[in-house]
Amino acid sequence: MLEQTSENTRKAYGRDLGRFAAFLGQHGVDLLEATRPQAAAWAESMRRDLKPVGSRRTGETTIARRLSAVSSFYSYAVDQDARPSNPVKTMKRPQPVGVDEDRVAWLDTAQSKAFLAAARAHSARAFALAAVMLTTGCRTTEALAADVSDWSWRGGHRFVTVTRKGGKRQALPLAPWVGEAVDTYLDGRADGPLFATAARSGHHGRMDEPALWRPVKRLATKAGLPAALVADLHPHSLPHSAITGALEAGGSLRDVQAMAGHADARTTERYDRLRCRLDSIPVYALAAALAD
């Protein structure tokens, strides 16, 4: 199964399995000797300790994904005669859900510009990363998985090639000022991760999501964004802002779908419906009529 999945998925499975192994290790239990009650205790500990981003449903999705990864491991162990049964196979788990766009905070055009200004003042890396995400709609994982070798010229355009869900590769064109921001950040560096941590022992490490999202709220605060908006920022907020902004700027659903890498046009339509619903809600007209 893992041979057919992307590198990011394999890494995620490894992290999830490692979490379960660490939980078992605290109780002196080997991974291959775990029982269903012990797996259930791990799930309950996650429900107590997990801090969801944005909503409780996000936390439930994370728990479901982790249990699924562990279940896949035990199914493989059973196939290899390393265990008699899978202790997680029939365990009830939260129903996985996708990102609920109605609950994801996003930035409008003015707020995105303020965020970019704060990122520019912070560092060349912060500005380059924010510029790429706010103009292409690429996901956090896609941006962080890109390498310098994925940065290229094609037909007079600057491109960054990202790996979409399912392992599909897609080249995303960048506006000239965004390309200049990335060039300034790279400062001649020709290898390693596109967005990297500081060099250690001569090599650049790859940024991870916590390293990205720790400063995002600080930048949003420095940008003067409303405190309630800053509190609700989610890992999907920047790509959501890009997709919604592209629709607001007059991009067609078909073109925005291609930019965002949505396999189904209905996914893109959800962004448009949400944007239009909020813009056309009669609350504002009613309030204007009642205003003194």
The pLDDT assigned to 281 comes to: 64
pLDDT at 178: 94
Q: What is the pLDDT of residue 98?
A: 46
**Domains present along the chain, CATH in parentheses:** 2-98 (1.10.150), 103-284 (1.10.443.10)
Nearest CA among 232, 58, 239, 233 for reference residue 139: 239
Per-residue pLDDT of the chain (292 residues; tens, 9 = 90+): 455 455 667 777 888 899 999 999 999 999 999 999 999 999 888 887 765 544 444 467 778 888 888 998 999 899 989 999 999 988 877 654 444 445 678 899 999 999 999 999 999 999 999 999 999 989 888 999 999 999 888 778 888 999 987 788 988 989 999 999 999 999 999 888 999 887 555 567 888 887 787 788 899 999 999 998 998 887 788 988 898 888 888 888 888 888 888 877 777 777 776 666 666 667 667 677 778 6
Per-residue confidence (pLDDT) for residue 276, from 0 to 100: 66
* CA dist., res. 132 & res. 86, Å (int): 43
The pair phi, psi for residue 23, each rounded to 5°, is: -60, -45
pLDDT of residue 200: 55
- pLDDT value, residue 99: 46
pLDDT in tens, 198-217: 755 556 788 888 778 778 88
User: Are 165 and 105 spatial neighbours (Cβ–Cβ below 8 Å)?
Assistant: no
Report yes or no: 206 and 196 within 8 Å, Cβ to Cβ. yes
- Convert 8-36 to b/e letters by CB count within 10 Å (16 or more is b): ebeebbeebbeebeebbeeeeeebeebee
